[in-house]
A = this chain, B = another copy of it.
Amino acid sequence: MQEARSGGEALLFLTDEQLRKGIEAMFFAYRGFTADPDRILNNYAYGRAHHRAVHFIHRSPGTTVNNLLGILGVTKQSLNRVLRTLISDGLVESRVGTKDKRERHLYLTQEGATLERELSDAQRKRMRDAYRAVGPDAVAGFRKVLEAMMEPELRRYFKALKDDE
């Protein structure tokens, strides 16, 4: 049941109970993390999938459907349904690739950018409030643990993004 504790000072906190608390903290925190966007999305008849698509199109304008698939970790059919509604609703524009005509490059329209802004404002506010409540050292630790928890493939992608900090 209990962690062996044979290693040294750095292992003292790694009991099963401590780890379970960390798991629950992650579960509850993620609920908070998505609570504000979820409320906003309800007003638009969109869901989290739309939010994710809009977020990453904003982050990487001109990205292809295939790129998004790798980042979002869903099937292309699932993403396609979401993109179709966003495109037909005029939030996302899909341009046929000039070099490779199989590809579709995705961009937010003005309207799409407005929704992205509304969603990310709310989410950033929560993140900012949390950061302010705990201070910079805690934030640094928070980010370290999150990175360590990612699947290796996504961690590599994420670290590549980090370069422009």
Contact, CB under 8 Å: A124 / B162: no
Q: How far is the CA of A157 from the CA of B149 in the complex (A)?
A: 25
Q: Which of A14-22, A61-69, A93-101 is found at the contact surface with chain B?
A: A14-22
Q: Tell me if A45 is interfacial: C-beta within 8 Å of chain B.
A: no
Does B145 contact A73, Cβ atoms closer than 8 Å?
no
Q: How large is the interface on A (under 10, 10 to 19, 20 to 34, 35 or more residues)?
A: 35 or more
Residue pair A25, B143 in contact (C-beta under 8 Å): yes
Which residues does chain B contribute within 8 Å of A27, judged by CB atoms?
A: 52
A55 to chain B minimum Cβ distance, whole angstroms, is 8
List 25 A-B residue pairs with CB atoms under 8 Å apart, sorted by A's residue number: A11-B132, A14-B131, A17-B165, A19-B124, A19-B127, A22-B131, A22-B139, A23-B123, A25-B143, A25-B147, A26-B29, A28-B154, A28-B155, A28-B158, A29-B149, A30-B30, A32-B151, A35-B151, A127-B149, A138-B141, A139-B145, A140-B141, A141-B141, A141-B144, A142-B144
